[in-house]
Amino acid sequence: MASTDLISRLSTAFNSSIKDGHAEKPDYLTRDIGGQFRTNHPYISGYFQVVFNLPEHPFGNSDNTQIASKWLHSTVEMFQPHSEAVTKVDLVGQGQMGSSFTANLTVTREFTLGFREYQFFPILNILRRWSIWDGLTGVTALKGNEFIPKNYKGQVTIFQTKPTGAQNRDIEREDIEEIYVYNGVFPTSLPVDTAASADVNTNEMVQHSVTFSFDGYPLRGSDSLTIMDKALGMLNGLRYIGGDGEFSSTAEKIYGTVDTLNPWGTTPSEKGSAKNAGADSA
């Protein structure tokens, strides 16, 4: 059973990242970490996966909710975590001699994701539906006792990963740098203005920067291996290359059509028919 004691959780994170990993530090004086014998590597940003568990009510049914979740997962291109700060209390003595004492931890309870937009504005429409607010009437689409957190708050799990992976292998524990499980999530910005056309001579792609609110403090994979194992179950079947059905990668689709490619623009069967017709005429 995973411990909820703070010291135990911090000890788990410390041991996993520093002590038990036996990763080398840079040289003391030069800070150099070069050489083929090293067992540590700088953190490389930009590699992450996001799993959305959206509230079902705004989307009508579970099928729509799943479709929206997959769109958000496959189009997210930026992640900015929440921030934390230790608040202090200052005491001033005679002659303005001051001292400070730690008081509490302040969490912004917001994180930001960036999404690439596509034709027909799928991302903007998903965010609008999730927000539940009607701009025409000024009230929500929820009725009476439907206006409860269950009907508009969701969960977002973010996996910061190493730039590693292979075709027929699931993402595993050793591929993970950190996991954030945000609960009570809902969007606080609808980036309609990012789809602006500033100039007729300027043609650009659109990326929405969306701020999300969450409740409490996020669960972290480094705090407990149990949390990490449970969260990794969400990524089962998601691979960098290959897959089945709609998860087929670009590479897999290319591999699957190699035998049908023809430099003369005809299918293999048509090409064979043309050869036979030529032989008959000869």
Closest CA to 175 of 186, 164, 191: 164
Is 269 a residue whose pLDDT tops 60? no
Segment 9-52, tens digit of pLDDT: 877 777 777 766 667 889 999 999 999 998 889 999 999 999 99
Residue 243: inside a domain: no
- For the CA atoms of 56, 58, 60, 63, the dihedral, rounded to the nearest 10 degrees, stands at -50
Domain count, the chain: 2
Burial of 140 (0-12, 13-18, 19+ CB in 10 A): middle
Does one domain contain both 150 and 180?
Answer: yes
Does one domain contain both 224 and 262?
Answer: no
pTM of the model: 0.85
Does one domain contain both 177 and 268?
Answer: no
Distance of CA 108 to CAs 47, 210, 213, 217, 219, Å?
23, 15, 9, 10, 15
Segment 159-203, tens digit of pLDDT: 999 998 777 788 888 899 999 999 999 999 999 998 888 788 888
Does one domain contain both 213 and 268?
Answer: no
φ, ψ of residue 112 to 5 degrees: the values are -125, 135
Residue 157: inside a domain: yes
Owning domain of residue 184? 43-89+100-193+203-238
Does one domain contain both 231 and 182?
Answer: yes
Residue 20: inside a domain: no
Q: Tell me, what CATH number does 179's domain have? A: 2.30.110
φ, ψ of residue 206 to 5 degrees: the values are -115, 135
What is the structure's pLDDT at 282? 43
What is the structure's pLDDT at 115? 97
What is the structure's pLDDT at 243? 65
Does one domain contain both 47 and 179?
Answer: yes
N-term to C-term CA, the chain: 81
Residue 188: inside a domain: yes
Does one domain contain both 170 and 223?
Answer: yes
Residue 5: inside a domain: no
Is 248 a residue whose pLDDT tops 80? no
Does one domain contain both 271 and 214?
Answer: no
